[in-house]
Amino acid sequence: MIKIKFPDGSKKEYEKGISVIEVAKDIGEKLADDAIAAKLNNELVDLSTKINKDSNLRIITFKDDAGKEAFRHSSAHLMAQAIKNLYPDVKFAIGPAVDEGFYYDIDLDKKLTPEDLIKIEKEMDKIVKENLKVERTKLTKKEALNLFKDNPYKTEMINELEDEKISIYKQGNFIDFCRGPHVPSTGKLKAFKLTKLAGAYWRGDAKNKQLQRVYGISFPDKKQLNAYLTLLEEAEKRDHRKLGKELDLFSMHDEGPGFPFFHPNGTVIINILKDFWRKEHAKAGYTEVITPIILNRNLWEQSGHWDHYKENMYFTKIDNQDYAIKPMNCPGGILIYKTRLRSYRELPMRMGEMGIVHRHELSGVLAGLFRVRCFTQDDAHIYMTEEQIKDEIIGVINLSEKFYNLFGFEYNVELSTKPDNAMGSDEAWEKATAGLKDALDAKKMKYKINEGDGAFYGPKIDFHLKDCLGRKWQCGTIQLDFAMPEKFDLTYEGKDGKKHRPIMIHRTIYGSIERFMGILIEHYAGKFPLWLSPTQAVILNINDSHIPYGEKVKQELEKSNIRVETDFRAETMPKKVREAQLKKIPLIITVGDKEVKNKTVAVRTLDGKVYFGIKTEDLIKKMQEIIDNKSSEIKF
């Protein structure tokens, strides 16, 4: 007999060799039905796995992140089998689960169309109805290479594996090598939708062959799938690229792919975001600096960017010397720190910079404001002693919370640890990681650990914002760095009169002003709160005799720094109201005979409420109150 311990601490004895799914059935039929995989002694395994010793066991369902990943990875295999059935000459590259579902990169002479996706879905349905068993076996590397000898992509990946035993998954006539786990049979994959087609270079390298990428999404049942598709429809209505054009906020041009052009309306929003950032950072003890966009190669070699980040950088020559356009602000800020000897009394030193940075992104991943090649990073670098780490990290977290709460974002926190290409000693990384953990624990914040996903110079805390549709966006980051101060020989004079090494924090809150603006456009569906709206009010007249009074109201609003427009065209009132609503202007002010006579205005809000008989001075007072409080609601 063996003992199996469950997550609630309970234990139960079973016959040696019992399978995971049999244990799940013993616990309950509902759990067995929902089961996708399991965590056996902290290792993800298939439900068919036999248990031969005392173990810890947790059944994984679709509610778990690991369950979603296994389910959607299985869905990628299902899609691949359907494609293979329809197009036997296809060659498969990679087919992972991703945050938004799953995809498979395929090498196929025929260019797939949306109509082909429908055919593939029908074939997937057939395979689901066949309820094919998904079986895992292990092959030697030699056997695996022989099995996939006609597929250059698979053989390349297999050759890179260090393991001599390679796991293979088979369902019907389809075979793929994969570490798993997967669902026990294709019948589990009841609800799916193929969502789009795209091009993708093999290994993300433009020098390699371009493949076709087929995307999909899947759920355990049709209800969840339909809810998701409804969400997609809503997201499409909120697409910041579409709204950006409709609201005249920004544009993208072939003359500068990945470089956004901001129109007057968009520039108003960006300047408001910057102004709010500057005021809040001044309150929090930050000073602001400006550093050059182009700096000498020697600096980038010293910082480590030349070795670790060169493929993402742009270069130029000046006076026959190599220069780089900055992808990050930190080296320039470090040069400012080094201009004189610093004292311990100056620490912590908090230096912020709204710095424009350039990063080379492949054309295939550019996406409106979400992925650009030039953006404004709301950077700040904090120089401090080791004793100040915890308090400074908490200070950054508190400031970040203030920003995110203002815009109505919920958020999750992730802690990313040492990557393979890390600079610095293990000891420094351990200290830095412990410093971040201490601050998060002191704040009693829940956080997920991402092993090996830190920056090359230090571990980091990332904030993932959740918008009104439940989508997640990675924005703010806090990176603790022992390496850069060492590389640049940064020092401060301590109480003992000796030189000591400071520690750095690299941090952003917006992350990128441009990307944050894109998120806000979709979060608010273009209906910005009054304080953030490019045009806060528009004045409409009923006929030409009301124009002089309308102009007077406009002047009074402008004196109070309210952004106001007029629409005195000879159009019907319903048409002018409708057009103002399409522009998402928060307040529509109407003047007619009654308003001229009583020296009042009528005010309509975007939610359709209309308020009559409001004095201009009362309107201004109320608007200023809403703007000053940065309220998301307008009530009179």
The helix (H) or strand (E) run that includes residue 469 is: none
The catalytically annotated residue of 73, 238, 359, 371 is 359
3-state DSSP helix/strand/coil % of the chain, to nearest 5: 40, 30, 30
- Residue 35: per-residue pLDDT: 93
The single residue listed with the structure tokens 């395994």 is 45
pLDDT of 457 > 80? The answer is: no
User: What predicted TM-score, i.e. pTM, was given to this entire model?
Assistant: 0.78
Amino acid at 352: G
| Tens digit of each residue's pLDDT (9 = 90 or more) over 30-47 | 999 999 999 999 899 999
Active-site residue, 388 included: no
The single residue listed with the structure tokens 């292990």 is 138
The catalytically annotated residue of 46, 116, 379, 462 is 379
The helix (H) or strand (E) run that includes residue 524 is: helix 513-524
- Residue 263: per-residue pLDDT: 98
Compute the distance between CA of residue 448 and CA of residue 332 in angstroms, rounded to an integer: 32
How does residue 473 score in pLDDT terms, banded at 50, 70 and 90? confident
Active-site residue, 358 included: no
Cα–Cα separations (whole angstroms), residue 592 to 595, 600, 603:
5, 9, 12
Cβ distance 201 to 95 under 8 Å? no
| Tens digit of each residue's pLDDT (9 = 90 or more) over 301-341 | 999 888 888 899 999 999 999 999 999 999 999 999 999 99
- CATH tag for 66-229 (out of 3.20.20.60, 3.60.21.10, 3.30.980.10, 3.40.50.720): 3.30.980.10
pLDDT of 576 > 90? The answer is: yes
How does residue 270 score in pLDDT terms, banded at 50, 70 and 90? very high
Active-site residue, 359 included: yes
| Tens digit of each residue's pLDDT (9 = 90 or more) over 50-83 | 999 999 999 999 999 899 999 999 999 999 999 9
435-442 average pLDDT score: 90
**Treating both helix axes as pointing N-terminal to C-terminal, what angle do 389-406 and 426-442 enclose, rounded to 10 degrees?**
50
pLDDT of 397 > 80? The answer is: yes
pLDDT of 236 > 80? The answer is: yes
pLDDT of 298 > 80? The answer is: yes
- Residue 308: per-residue pLDDT: 83
Q: Which of 143-152, 339-348, 362-371, 437-446 has the lowest mean pLDDT?
A: 362-371
- Residue 59: per-residue pLDDT: 94
* Domain boundary assignment for the chain: 2-61, 66-229, 250-524, 537-628
Amino acid at 286: Y
pLDDT of 164 > 80? The answer is: no
| Tens digit of each residue's pLDDT (9 = 90 or more) over 491-511 | 999 999 999 999 999 999 999
The catalytically annotated residue of 330, 481, 515, 576 is 330
**Treating both helix axes as pointing N-terminal to C-terminal, what angle do 264-283 and 389-406 enclose, rounded to 10 degrees?**
140
Active-site residue, 305 included: no
The catalytically annotated residue of 81, 212, 377, 536 is 377
- Residue 288: per-residue pLDDT: 97
pLDDT of 232 > 90? The answer is: no
Assigned CATH topology for domain 250-524: BirA Bifunctional Protein; domain 2 (3.30.930)
Could you tell me the two tokens for 256? 């500068």
| Tens digit of each residue's pLDDT (9 = 90 or more) over 547-558 | 999 999 999 999
Active-site residue, 506 included: yes
The catalytically annotated residue of 238, 506, 515, 576 is 506
Cβ distance 566 to 516 under 8 Å? no
The catalytically annotated residue of 460, 546, 584, 622 is 460
DSSP output for 425-463: -HHHHHHHHHHHHHHHHHTT---EEETT-SBTTB-EEEE
Compute the distance between CA of residue 103 and CA of residue 82 in angstroms, rounded to an integer: 13
pLDDT, mean over the chain? 93
120-126 average pLDDT score: 96
- CATH tag for 2-61 (out of 3.30.750.24, 3.10.20.30, 3.30.1950.10, 3.40.50.80): 3.10.20.30
pLDDT of 635 > 90? The answer is: no
CATH of domain 537-628: 3.40.50.800
pLDDT of 9 > 90? The answer is: no
456-461 average pLDDT score: 84
- Residue 238: per-residue pLDDT: 92
pLDDT of 452 > 80? The answer is: yes
Reference 509, options 568, 570, 458, 461; nearest CA is: 461
